[in-house]
Amino acid sequence: MSNAYSVFQDCVSNAQFRNKSILDIVTKLSEQTALLNRAVSKSVTHCGCVKINAKKQYINNQKSIEENKISLDNHLDGCLCPRCKDKIEEEMGDLMFYLASLCETLDINLDDVIEQKTDFLKTFGKYSLL
Protein backbone atom coordinates (compact mmCIF):
# COMPACT_ATOMS: atom_id res chain seq x y z
CA MET A 1 0.00 0.00 0.00
CA SER A 2 2.13 2.86 -1.23
CA ASN A 3 -0.40 5.10 -2.93
CA ALA A 4 -1.96 7.99 -1.00
CA TYR A 5 -5.44 6.50 -1.36
CA SER A 6 -4.32 3.18 0.12
CA VAL A 7 -2.54 4.95 2.97
CA PHE A 8 -5.70 6.97 3.63
CA GLN A 9 -7.89 3.86 3.48
CA ASP A 10 -5.56 2.10 5.90
CA CYS A 11 -5.73 5.08 8.31
CA VAL A 12 -9.52 5.04 8.06
CA SER A 13 -9.58 1.32 8.77
CA ASN A 14 -7.45 1.82 11.88
CA ALA A 15 -9.51 4.80 13.06
CA GLN A 16 -12.94 3.32 12.37
CA PHE A 17 -14.43 2.16 15.63
CA ARG A 18 -17.96 3.47 15.74
CA ASN A 19 -20.25 3.08 12.76
CA LYS A 20 -18.78 -0.27 11.67
CA SER A 21 -22.13 -1.45 10.34
CA ILE A 22 -22.63 -1.11 6.59
CA LEU A 23 -25.93 0.62 7.38
CA ASP A 24 -24.17 3.18 9.57
CA ILE A 25 -21.55 3.78 6.89
CA VAL A 26 -23.92 4.32 3.96
CA THR A 27 -26.20 6.60 5.97
CA LYS A 28 -23.19 8.59 7.26
CA LEU A 29 -21.91 8.86 3.69
CA SER A 30 -25.27 10.25 2.61
CA GLU A 31 -25.40 12.62 5.59
CA GLN A 32 -21.88 13.83 4.87
CA THR A 33 -22.81 14.56 1.26
CA ALA A 34 -25.63 16.76 2.55
CA LEU A 35 -23.21 18.56 4.90
CA LEU A 36 -20.83 19.22 2.01
CA ASN A 37 -23.70 20.56 -0.10
CA ARG A 38 -24.72 22.79 2.80
CA ALA A 39 -21.19 24.16 3.22
CA VAL A 40 -21.05 25.04 -0.48
CA SER A 41 -24.49 26.67 -0.27
CA LYS A 42 -23.50 28.63 2.86
CA SER A 43 -20.54 30.12 0.98
CA VAL A 44 -23.20 31.75 -1.20
CA THR A 45 -26.02 32.46 1.23
CA HIS A 46 -24.21 33.18 4.49
CA CYS A 47 -20.73 34.40 3.57
CA GLY A 48 -21.33 35.63 0.05
CA CYS A 49 -17.75 35.04 -1.10
CA VAL A 50 -19.18 33.33 -4.19
CA LYS A 51 -22.31 34.02 -6.15
CA ILE A 52 -24.27 31.62 -8.33
CA ASN A 53 -25.22 33.02 -11.70
CA ALA A 54 -26.96 30.02 -13.25
CA LYS A 55 -28.48 29.87 -16.67
CA LYS A 56 -29.17 27.22 -19.26
CA GLN A 57 -26.06 25.74 -20.80
CA TYR A 58 -26.16 25.61 -24.58
CA ILE A 59 -24.33 23.02 -26.63
CA ASN A 60 -23.80 24.11 -30.21
CA ASN A 61 -23.86 21.04 -32.45
CA GLN A 62 -21.97 23.01 -35.10
CA LYS A 63 -18.96 23.36 -32.77
CA SER A 64 -16.45 20.76 -31.63
CA ILE A 65 -16.52 19.36 -28.13
CA GLU A 66 -13.44 21.46 -27.30
CA GLU A 67 -15.12 24.64 -28.57
CA ASN A 68 -18.26 23.85 -26.58
CA LYS A 69 -16.22 23.08 -23.48
CA ILE A 70 -14.71 26.57 -23.57
CA SER A 71 -18.14 28.21 -23.77
CA LEU A 72 -19.67 26.25 -20.87
CA ASP A 73 -19.87 28.05 -17.53
CA ASN A 74 -19.53 26.76 -13.96
CA HIS A 75 -22.12 29.37 -12.85
CA LEU A 76 -19.86 30.71 -10.10
CA ASP A 77 -18.73 34.28 -9.68
CA GLY A 78 -16.04 35.06 -7.13
CA CYS A 79 -13.65 32.86 -5.16
CA LEU A 80 -14.02 31.00 -1.91
CA CYS A 81 -12.73 32.93 1.07
CA PRO A 82 -10.23 31.07 3.28
CA ARG A 83 -12.89 30.30 5.91
CA CYS A 84 -15.34 28.79 3.41
CA LYS A 85 -12.56 26.92 1.63
CA ASP A 86 -11.41 25.41 4.94
CA LYS A 87 -14.97 24.34 5.82
CA ILE A 88 -15.59 22.79 2.41
CA GLU A 89 -12.25 20.97 2.53
CA GLU A 90 -13.15 19.67 6.01
CA GLU A 91 -16.50 18.37 4.75
CA MET A 92 -14.81 16.80 1.71
CA GLY A 93 -12.34 15.07 4.01
CA ASP A 94 -15.17 13.69 6.13
CA LEU A 95 -16.96 12.52 2.98
CA MET A 96 -13.80 10.79 1.82
CA PHE A 97 -13.47 9.18 5.26
CA TYR A 98 -16.85 7.50 4.88
CA LEU A 99 -16.16 6.56 1.26
CA ALA A 100 -12.91 4.89 2.34
CA SER A 101 -14.76 3.24 5.21
CA LEU A 102 -17.31 1.86 2.75
CA CYS A 103 -14.49 0.56 0.56
CA GLU A 104 -12.86 -1.09 3.55
CA THR A 105 -16.10 -2.72 4.68
CA LEU A 106 -16.83 -4.05 1.18
CA ASP A 107 -13.19 -5.18 0.71
CA ILE A 108 -12.70 -2.76 -2.17
CA ASN A 109 -9.40 -0.96 -2.60
CA LEU A 110 -9.87 2.77 -3.10
CA ASP A 111 -6.71 2.84 -5.25
CA ASP A 112 -8.33 0.32 -7.59
CA VAL A 113 -11.51 2.39 -7.84
CA ILE A 114 -9.54 5.53 -8.68
CA GLU A 115 -7.30 3.67 -11.12
CA GLN A 116 -10.26 2.07 -12.94
CA LYS A 117 -12.04 5.41 -13.27
CA THR A 118 -8.82 7.11 -14.41
CA ASP A 119 -8.25 4.42 -17.07
CA PHE A 120 -11.86 4.77 -18.21
CA LEU A 121 -11.53 8.55 -18.52
CA LYS A 122 -8.20 8.27 -20.31
CA THR A 123 -9.72 5.82 -22.77
CA PHE A 124 -13.05 7.51 -23.41
CA GLY A 125 -12.35 11.01 -22.09
CA LYS A 126 -15.04 13.57 -22.59
CA TYR A 127 -16.92 11.19 -24.89
CA SER A 128 -17.77 8.99 -21.89
CA LEU A 129 -19.74 11.84 -20.34
CA LEU A 130 -21.92 12.76 -23.32
In the chain, what percentage of residues exceed pLDDT 90? 65
Angle between helices 4-15 and 110-124 (to 10 degrees): 150
- 76 SS3 class: strand
Q: Rounded to an integer, what distance in angstroms lies between the CA atom of residue 109 and that of residue 7? A: 11
Given a cut of 80, is residue 18 above it in pLDDT? Answer: no
The CATH number of domain 4-47+80-123, selected from 2.40.160.40, 3.40.50.300, 3.30.1340.30, 1.10.287.1080: 1.10.287.1080
- Lowest-confidence range among 8-12, 18-22, 25-29, 118-122? 18-22
Could you give the angle at the alpha carbon of 40 between the alpha carbons of 89 and 58, nearest 5°? Answer: 120
Q: Rounded to an integer, what distance in angstroms lies between the CA atom of residue 60 and that of residue 37? A: 30
Write phi, then psi, for 74 (nearest 5 degrees): -90, 0
